[in-house]
A = this chain, B = another copy of it.
Amino acid sequence: MYSDGMSTSERLIESTRELLWERGYVGTSPKAILERAGAGQGSMYHHFKGKPDLALAAIRRTAEEMRAAAERVLGGPGTPYERIEAYLRRERDVLRGCPVGRLTMDPDIVASDELRAPVDETLDWLRGRIAGIVEEGRAQGHFASRLDAGEVAAAVVATVQGGYVLARASGSPAAFDAGVRGLLSLLGRAESPTR
């Protein structure tokens, strides 16, 4: 529950972001949002058209933050392999899952083009960003030239998203880490010996 200097509309968005992450869209009720934000019904319907509208604002902000966090690592120093490794190994609240990716399992999100759009755009951007790095590595001779950069990037993003699934199923982050190490071992092996 927020009691800071945040405006009511800010508190509503932040509360919604948390609840969407914890419980998804279907599992999040306006009532729960209002309680956490310390606001009444009226405030929510004054600032937003309804639950979908508020969720959209929350999702957009979460997507934006995830992009920025990924860019900080992917755009950092190091060889292409090192930057992808840094992304895969970056600190994560593994058991909470991905605040963006988890929304794809929400039927009401997938059913709405508007709500799905920021999710799609974010994961697509991530895939493209990583593909560029793989391509860069290929050009520099770090990766085998027969690899398809877009496909490898898809495998990288999928391993992360699937790692959350394995971790949450077992109740431990270990499975996530195992998947990441497995992928890195395959990727490392793909480094071209001709470099």
Give the interface residue-count category, chain A.
35 or more
The answer to whether A170 and B107 have CB atoms under 8 Å apart is no
* Contacting residue for A169 out of B120, B153, B187, CB 8 A: B120
As for how many copies of this chain the complex holds, the number is 2
Any B CB within 8 A of the CB of A97: yes
For A98, the closest partner residue in chain B by CB is B165
Asked whether, in the complex, the Cβ of A101 is within 8 Å of the Cβ of B169, the reply is yes
Give Cα distance in the complex from A63 to B191, angstroms.
38
* Closest Cβ–Cβ distance, residue A6 to chain B (whole Å): 25
Residues 158-195 of chain A: 1 if any B CB is under 8 Å from the residue's CB, otherwise 0?
A: 11111111101111000110111111011101100000
Q: A155-B186, A160-B162, A183-B186 are in contact. List 9 more A-B contacts (CB 8 A).
A: A23-B26, A24-B107, A105-B105, A151-B178, A154-B182, A155-B159, A158-B160, A158-B179, A162-B163
Instruction: Name 23 A/B residue pairs within 8 A (Cβ), A-sorted.
Output: A26-B27, A105-B168, A120-B170, A123-B166, A124-B170, A148-B181, A148-B185, A150-B178, A150-B182, A151-B182, A152-B186, A155-B179, A155-B182, A155-B186, A157-B179, A158-B160, A158-B161, A159-B162, A162-B162, A162-B165, A186-B187, A186-B189, A189-B190
